[in-house]
Amino acid sequence: MSRTRDDLLVPRLVRDRLTLTLYAPFITWGWYLYCFSPAVPLIADEQGISRGLAGLHGTAMACGTILSGLVSSQVAQRFGRRAMSLTGSAFLLTGIALLLSGSSLPETLASCFVIAIGGNLTISAAQPALSLHHGPAGAAAVTEANAMGAAVGLLAPLALGTAVGLGWGWRPAVGLTALLAVVAALAMASLSASGPLGRGIVDRSATDAAAQGRAGRGFSTAFWFFWVALVCGVGIEFSTTFWASDLLARRTDAPGSVAAASVSALVIGMSVSRFIVGPLSRRKAPEKLLLVGFAVAAAGWLLFWVATSPTLAIAGLVLAGLGYGTHFPLAISLVMRASDGRPDKAQSRSSLGIGGAVGIAPFLLGSLADVFGPHTAFLLVPLLIVVGATATGLGLRTVRRVQATERTPAV
């Protein structure tokens, strides 16, 4: 079958060995996030602490994320992305060992801090490498990588629910993260420390004089609008994954094992969304797809929020996941695109924002739940949706204005 002219203009996504290896850190991190987050209420019950104190696990992860953001760009420039990824794997394995052996709040908080450093270093190496390796198809590659992480991660709450139902507790399911981290590290170590995995380089797609001139200055207004959308998207996702099981259990009287496993419904929606949005992002404006994602997220949140039966609540989580799945990959791709050829620096700034979102949003929602109850506290989510959608719209308008200015011939 002959290809049309439009097909020839669509950037191709080639899934070579390097690409598949770079997907491995997303799979590892996805398993950990979607397994540990619904385990937080279980840890709170085990340690006899309030939901607000349990939310400090998100704060500890945020501190680790921020620290990785402060150093990732410099590490990539000096030692290369492969070395950064392997270092991150070592931190991740150390943190998991500490988490599984910890039994008090200080111990589990410290382990989350170490885990976040490691996990974010591996992602900070993989994300710019994918963007550089695939050029115009970078958004599709990053989205598909996150889709792979979500697809494997959707099994994590089910594994957690099964382990809890069998009386094993949360540790066996979370502990599987270590096995995935070892496999990812071995695959990364087998690759050459050159090209996208070498020392941080400027994106060669930004070769025009205007982009090279901007590369020496601060980031553009569009960059910061998309950065805000990214931060809101992360806050929405982490707030929900941390506390959705708690709200579902209280509103529907579902048993703990069912509530913990219900987070898989959210991840199923996210996985489906990312596998669909990845190819679409090569044909449609990612800004518009992201706006649709925020709208779908709002609809899903509303259905989940009003539900009083497990079936309706789970349906709401699936619908919300279809929206949530667009937030991180599309927003981070837009941030990379607006970085004027500096993906490692953009990744570093993004990690700082992500760390803030992970630290503040779950803790704030948990603290509000202690005071007002989880149902009222979940109103934080639509507030973040509105802010994220507004920032995306402003970013789109800014990009269009800049493009119109660049097309206007000089007098």
Can you give the pLDDT at residue 166? 86
Can you give the pLDDT at residue 281? 75
- The tens digit of pLDDT for each residue in 175-191 reads 999 999 999 999 999 88
Q: Which residue has the tokens 């619904």?
A: 38
Taking only the tens of pLDDT, the chain with its 411 residues reads 444 444 445 567 678 888 889 999 999 999 998 888 878 888 888 888 887 788 788 889 889 988 988 888 888 888 888 999 999 999 999 999 999 998 899 999 999 999 999 999 999 888 888 878 777 777 778 878 888 887 888 788 888 888 888 888 889 999 999 999 999 999 999 887 677 787 655 444 444 434 444 444 578 888 999 999 999 999 999 889 878 888 888 888 887 777 777 777 888 898 888 888 877 877 788 889 999 999 999 999 999 999 988 889 999 999 999 999 999 889 988 988 888 878 778 878 888 888 888 878 888 888 888 888 889 999 999 999 999 999 999 998 888 887 777 665 544
Residue ranges per structural domain of the chain: 15-199+213-407
- Return the percent helix, strand and coil in the chain, to nearest 5: 85, 0, 15
User: Can you say whether the dihedral through the CA atoms of 344, 349, 352, 358 is positive or negative?
Assistant: negative
Of the candidates 285, 270, 300, 264, the residue with the CA atom closest to the CA atom of residue 26 = 270
Q: What is the Cβ-side half-sphere exposure of residue 231, based on CA atoms within 13 angstroms?
A: 23
CA angle 201, 202, 204 (to 5 degrees): 115
Is-contact 230 324, C-beta < 8 A?
Answer: no
Q: What is the Cβ-side half-sphere exposure of residue 208, based on CA atoms within 13 angstroms?
A: 4
The secondary structure of 76-127 as a DSSP string is HHHH-HHHHHHHHHHHHHHHHHHHHH--SHHHHHHHHHHHHHHHHHHHHHHH
Q: Which two tokens stand for residue 272?
A: 């489906």
Is-contact 388 232, C-beta < 8 A?
Answer: yes
Q: What is the Cβ-side half-sphere exposure of residue 27, based on CA atoms within 13 angstroms?
A: 19
Domain 15-199+213-407 has CATH 3.10.180.10: no
Can you give the pLDDT at residue 85? 92
